[in-house]
Protein backbone atom coordinates (compact mmCIF):
# COMPACT_ATOMS: atom_id res chain seq x y z
CA UNK A 1 0.00 0.00 0.00
CA UNK A 2 1.33 3.44 -0.94
CA UNK A 3 2.25 5.84 1.85
CA UNK A 4 -0.42 8.33 2.99
CA UNK A 5 1.71 11.25 1.88
CA UNK A 6 1.65 9.94 -1.71
CA UNK A 7 -2.16 10.05 -1.84
CA UNK A 8 -2.27 13.51 -0.33
CA UNK A 9 0.19 14.93 -2.85
CA UNK A 10 -1.70 13.31 -5.73
CA UNK A 11 -5.01 14.76 -4.50
CA UNK A 12 -3.53 18.26 -4.21
CA UNK A 13 -2.11 18.07 -7.73
CA UNK A 14 -5.46 16.92 -9.16
CA UNK A 15 -7.36 19.74 -7.47
CA UNK A 16 -4.84 22.29 -8.71
CA UNK A 17 -5.21 21.14 -12.32
CA UNK A 18 -9.01 21.13 -12.10
CA UNK A 19 -9.05 24.69 -10.79
CA UNK A 20 -6.77 25.79 -13.61
CA UNK A 21 -9.19 24.48 -16.24
CA UNK A 22 -12.45 25.73 -14.70
CA UNK A 23 -12.45 29.20 -16.39
CA UNK A 24 -12.07 27.65 -19.83
CA UNK A 25 -14.96 25.23 -19.30
CA UNK A 26 -17.47 27.54 -17.67
CA UNK A 27 -20.59 28.28 -19.75
CA UNK A 28 -21.68 31.84 -20.55
CA UNK A 29 -25.16 33.11 -19.70
CA UNK A 30 -27.35 35.73 -21.36
CA UNK A 31 -27.82 38.27 -18.59
CA UNK A 32 -28.31 41.39 -20.72
CA UNK A 33 -32.08 41.47 -20.26
CA UNK A 34 -32.83 40.57 -23.86
CA UNK A 35 -30.71 43.27 -25.49
CA UNK A 36 -29.72 42.55 -29.11
CA UNK A 37 -26.44 40.69 -29.44
CA UNK A 38 -24.20 40.40 -32.53
CA UNK A 39 -25.45 37.64 -34.78
CA UNK A 40 -28.73 37.26 -32.89
CA UNK A 41 -30.65 37.82 -36.14
CA UNK A 42 -28.64 35.34 -38.16
CA UNK A 43 -26.18 37.94 -39.39
CA UNK A 44 -28.74 39.74 -41.57
CA UNK A 45 -27.90 43.24 -40.35
CA UNK A 46 -25.68 45.54 -42.38
CA UNK A 47 -24.43 49.13 -42.34
CA UNK A 48 -24.99 51.85 -44.88
CA UNK A 49 -27.34 51.46 -47.83
CA UNK A 50 -27.93 48.72 -50.34
CA UNK A 51 -29.27 49.51 -53.80
CA UNK A 52 -30.43 46.35 -55.57
CA UNK A 53 -30.98 46.26 -59.31
CA UNK A 54 -34.60 47.24 -59.94
CA UNK A 55 -36.93 48.97 -62.38
CA UNK A 56 -36.60 52.17 -60.31
CA UNK A 57 -34.46 53.48 -57.48
CA UNK A 58 -34.62 51.15 -54.46
CA UNK A 59 -32.76 51.68 -51.17
CA UNK A 60 -32.45 49.15 -48.34
CA UNK A 61 -31.27 50.05 -44.85
CA UNK A 62 -30.92 48.38 -41.45
CA UNK A 63 -31.35 51.19 -38.89
CA UNK A 64 -30.05 50.72 -35.38
CA UNK A 65 -32.48 48.72 -33.25
CA UNK A 66 -34.15 50.89 -30.62
CA UNK A 67 -35.40 49.82 -27.18
CA UNK A 68 -39.02 48.70 -27.43
CA UNK A 69 -41.48 49.32 -24.62
CA UNK A 70 -45.20 50.02 -24.46
CA UNK A 71 -46.18 53.65 -24.08
CA UNK A 72 -49.68 55.14 -23.69
CA UNK A 73 -51.66 55.66 -26.89
CA UNK A 74 -51.22 59.17 -28.18
CA UNK A 75 -47.65 59.47 -26.88
CA UNK A 76 -45.39 61.29 -29.34
CA UNK A 77 -42.65 58.80 -30.23
CA UNK A 78 -39.38 59.67 -31.96
CA UNK A 79 -37.98 57.06 -34.33
CA UNK A 80 -34.59 56.86 -36.03
CA UNK A 81 -35.85 56.02 -39.52
CA UNK A 82 -38.66 56.90 -41.91
CA UNK A 83 -40.62 54.71 -41.98
CA UNK A 84 -39.86 53.48 -38.45
CA UNK A 85 -38.60 49.94 -37.99
CA UNK A 86 -38.21 49.48 -34.22
CA UNK A 87 -38.71 51.36 -30.98
CA UNK A 88 -41.39 52.19 -28.46
CA UNK A 89 -44.97 51.55 -29.48
CA UNK A 90 -48.56 51.45 -28.27
CA UNK A 91 -50.01 48.46 -26.36
CA UNK A 92 -52.37 47.71 -29.29
CA UNK A 93 -51.12 46.73 -32.74
CA UNK A 94 -52.63 47.35 -36.17
CA UNK A 95 -54.42 44.43 -37.76
CA UNK A 96 -52.68 42.71 -40.68
CA UNK A 97 -54.79 44.18 -43.47
CA UNK A 98 -55.11 47.03 -45.97
CA UNK A 99 -56.05 50.44 -44.58
CA UNK A 100 -57.44 53.36 -46.58
CA UNK A 101 -56.16 56.06 -44.24
CA UNK A 102 -52.89 56.68 -42.36
CA UNK A 103 -52.31 54.76 -39.13
CA UNK A 104 -50.24 56.07 -36.25
CA UNK A 105 -46.74 54.60 -36.29
CA UNK A 106 -47.12 53.50 -32.67
CA UNK A 107 -49.57 50.80 -33.78
CA UNK A 108 -47.62 49.80 -36.88
CA UNK A 109 -44.32 49.35 -35.03
CA UNK A 110 -46.10 47.00 -32.62
CA UNK A 111 -47.30 45.01 -35.65
CA UNK A 112 -43.69 44.82 -36.85
CA UNK A 113 -42.68 43.52 -33.44
CA UNK A 114 -45.13 40.68 -34.13
CA UNK A 115 -43.38 39.94 -37.42
CA UNK A 116 -45.36 42.12 -39.83
CA UNK A 117 -44.06 43.80 -42.95
CA UNK A 118 -45.77 47.13 -43.55
CA UNK A 119 -46.13 48.44 -47.11
CA UNK A 120 -46.51 52.23 -47.22
CA UNK A 121 -47.48 54.40 -50.16
CA UNK A 122 -47.84 58.13 -50.78
CA UNK A 123 -49.93 59.70 -53.53
CA UNK A 124 -50.18 63.36 -54.47
CA UNK A 125 -53.94 62.81 -54.41
CA UNK A 126 -55.86 59.68 -53.29
CA UNK A 127 -58.07 60.07 -56.36
CA UNK A 128 -55.26 61.06 -58.71
CA UNK A 129 -54.45 58.96 -61.79
CA UNK A 130 -51.20 57.65 -60.35
CA UNK A 131 -52.58 56.41 -57.04
CA UNK A 132 -54.73 53.48 -58.18
CA UNK A 133 -51.87 51.71 -60.04
CA UNK A 134 -49.66 52.15 -56.98
CA UNK A 135 -52.20 50.54 -54.66
CA UNK A 136 -52.99 47.75 -57.13
CA UNK A 137 -49.29 46.97 -57.41
CA UNK A 138 -48.97 46.67 -53.63
CA UNK A 139 -52.08 44.49 -53.48
CA UNK A 140 -50.58 42.18 -56.08
CA UNK A 141 -47.37 41.85 -54.06
CA UNK A 142 -49.32 41.24 -50.83
CA UNK A 143 -51.59 38.70 -52.52
CA UNK A 144 -48.60 36.64 -53.61
CA UNK A 145 -47.22 36.23 -50.08
CA UNK A 146 -47.25 32.63 -48.90
CA UNK A 147 -49.92 31.77 -46.38
CA UNK A 148 -48.73 31.98 -42.77
CA UNK A 149 -49.64 28.84 -40.76
CA UNK A 150 -49.93 30.95 -37.59
CA UNK A 151 -52.55 33.22 -39.17
CA UNK A 152 -56.25 32.66 -39.75
CA UNK A 153 -57.68 32.51 -43.27
CA UNK A 154 -59.02 36.03 -42.78
CA UNK A 155 -55.51 37.38 -42.13
CA UNK A 156 -53.54 34.95 -44.32
CA UNK A 157 -50.18 36.74 -43.86
CA UNK A 158 -48.65 39.42 -41.69
CA UNK A 159 -48.56 42.15 -44.34
CA UNK A 160 -50.13 45.61 -43.97
CA UNK A 161 -50.86 48.13 -46.74
CA UNK A 162 -51.33 51.71 -45.57
CA UNK A 163 -51.11 55.23 -47.02
CA UNK A 164 -48.62 57.49 -45.28
CA UNK A 165 -47.93 61.12 -46.20
CA UNK A 166 -44.85 61.07 -43.96
CA UNK A 167 -42.68 58.85 -46.17
CA UNK A 168 -40.31 60.54 -48.62
CA UNK A 169 -40.77 58.20 -51.61
CA UNK A 170 -43.92 56.93 -53.36
CA UNK A 171 -43.38 53.45 -51.91
CA UNK A 172 -41.75 52.26 -48.69
CA UNK A 173 -41.76 49.17 -46.53
CA UNK A 174 -40.59 48.32 -43.05
CA UNK A 175 -40.11 45.24 -40.92
CA UNK A 176 -38.47 44.93 -37.52
CA UNK A 177 -34.97 46.37 -38.01
CA UNK A 178 -35.13 46.94 -41.77
CA UNK A 179 -36.50 49.53 -44.22
CA UNK A 180 -37.16 49.69 -47.94
CA UNK A 181 -37.74 52.82 -50.05
CA UNK A 182 -38.57 52.97 -53.75
CA UNK A 183 -39.78 55.32 -56.46
CA UNK A 184 -42.20 52.69 -57.78
CA UNK A 185 -43.72 49.30 -56.99
CA UNK A 186 -40.84 47.06 -58.04
CA UNK A 187 -42.36 43.62 -57.48
CA UNK A 188 -39.15 41.52 -57.44
CA UNK A 189 -37.28 43.56 -54.81
CA UNK A 190 -40.36 44.26 -52.70
CA UNK A 191 -41.36 40.60 -52.69
CA UNK A 192 -37.81 39.67 -51.69
CA UNK A 193 -37.88 42.21 -48.85
CA UNK A 194 -41.09 40.66 -47.55
CA UNK A 195 -39.81 37.10 -47.85
CA UNK A 196 -36.58 37.94 -46.01
CA UNK A 197 -38.24 39.77 -43.11
CA UNK A 198 -41.76 38.51 -42.53
CA UNK A 199 -42.46 36.65 -39.27
CA UNK A 200 -39.00 37.56 -37.90
CA UNK A 201 -39.96 40.13 -35.28
CA UNK A 202 -39.02 39.68 -31.62
CA UNK A 203 -42.51 38.24 -31.00
CA UNK A 204 -43.77 35.62 -33.44
CA UNK A 205 -47.50 36.32 -33.14
CA UNK A 206 -50.25 36.38 -35.76
CA UNK A 207 -53.35 37.43 -33.85
CA UNK A 208 -55.92 39.93 -35.02
CA UNK A 209 -55.02 43.48 -34.11
CA UNK A 210 -56.86 46.76 -34.11
CA UNK A 211 -58.74 47.90 -37.21
CA UNK A 212 -59.10 51.62 -37.91
Q: Could you report the per-residue pLDDT of 160-197, keeping only the tens digit for each?
A: 999 999 999 999 999 999 999 999 999 999 999 999 99
Q: What is the C-alpha separation between 36 and 174, in angstroms, rounded?
A: 19
* pTM to 2 decimal places: 0.81
User: Which residues, 6 or more positions from 35, have their beta carbon under 8 angstroms from its beta carbon?
Assistant: none
Q: What is the C-alpha separation between 38 and 135, in angstroms, rounded?
A: 37
- Percent of the chain past pLDDT 90, that is, above it, reads 76
Q: Could you report the per-residue pLDDT of 98-110, keeping only the tens digit for each?
A: 999 999 999 999 9
Task: Please say whether the beta carbons of 179 and 118 come within 8 A.
Answer: no
The confidence score (pLDDT) of residue 42 equals 62
CA distances from 88 to 31, 109, 113, 166 (A): 22, 8, 10, 18
Compare 148 and 9 and report the one with higher pLDDT. Answer: 148
Q: Could you report the per-residue pLDDT of 118-161, keeping only the tens digit for each?
A: 999 999 887 888 899 999 999 999 999 999 999 999 999 999 99
Task: Please say whether the beta carbons of 118 and 141 come within 8 A.
Answer: no
In this predicted structure, the answer to whether residue 199 has a pLDDT above a threshold of 70 is yes
Please choose, from the candidates 129, 107, 121, the residue with its C-alpha nearest in 3D space to the C-alpha of residue 184: 121
CA distances from 156 to 59, 97, 104, 170 (A): 28, 9, 23, 26
Amino acid sequence: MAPRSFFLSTLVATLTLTAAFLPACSSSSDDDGGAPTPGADGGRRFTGQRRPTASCAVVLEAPELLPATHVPEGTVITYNSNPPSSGNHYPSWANFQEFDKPVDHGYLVHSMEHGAVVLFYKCDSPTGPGCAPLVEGLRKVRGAVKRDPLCTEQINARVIIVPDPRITTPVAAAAWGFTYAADCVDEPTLSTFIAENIALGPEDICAAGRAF
